[in-house]
Amino acid sequence: MQDDSFSTTLPDPRDPAWEPRADHMRAALRQAQRAADQKEVPIGAAIYFGNRLIAQAYNQVETLKDPTAHAEVIAITQAASALGDWRLTGCVLYVTKEPCPMCAGAIILARLPMAVWGVTDPQRGGAVSRFQILQNPAMNHRTEFRAGFMEEECRTILSGFFKELRSS
C-alpha cells in the first residue's frame, strides 16, 4: 500500500496560490512552549513535507550547552534524516520567530524552498530584517518566505517568557 503523505506531487510553496497553514504553525508553537517550559528562549520549528510533519524542535542552547542548538538547525537535521537527503526541496519550515543569520544560512544550505515565521526580528533577524540572507543574490539558492504568519500567537509566547524572566 502506498503512503500518500509522501507523494511526489507536492504543492509548490513558491506558487502564489500557496498559503501557509495554521495547523502547521501550531506545531511550531507547541515546540516553543516546550522551550519556555525548560527555560529556553521559546522558539519552535516544524518542517513539513507536503502535509506530513517530518521534524519538530525547539531551542535547546542552554540545555545542551550548544550555541548552535537553535530550533531551526535541530529541525533541519531531523528532516534530513527523515528524508535521507540533505536537500529539503519539497519541504516548508514553520518557525515562531525570524531565523537568525546562522539559521538562515542553514535554511539556504538545506535548499528549503519556503520559510514561514510569525515574529520578525528587526534587530537580529538573519532572513530578511537585519541581514537579507534568504534572498541574497550572492547565494546559490534562494528561499521564499512568508513573515508575520500567526504573529500575535508567536509574539505572545516570546513576550510572556521575557516578562517572566525579568520579574524573577
Query: How is residue 57 written as a grid cell?
Result: 524542535
Rounded to the nearest angstrom, the gap between the alpha carbon of residue 19 and the centroid of all alpha carbons in its chain is 16
Which one from 40, 62, 72, 164 is the annotated catalytic residue? 72
Amino acid letter for position 45: A
Location of C-alpha cell 537535521: 77
Give the span between the Cα atoms of 164 and 168, in whole angstroms: 6
Amino acid letter for position 2: Q
Q: Note the helical H segments in 11-100.
A: 22-37, 61-64, 71-83
Rg of the chain over Cα atoms, rounded to whole angstroms, equals 15
What is the number of other CB atoms lying within 10 angstroms of the CB of residue 164?
Answer: 11
| Cβ(95)–Cβ(117) below 8 Å | yes
72 is catalytic: yes
Question: Which residues are the active-site residues?
Answer: 72
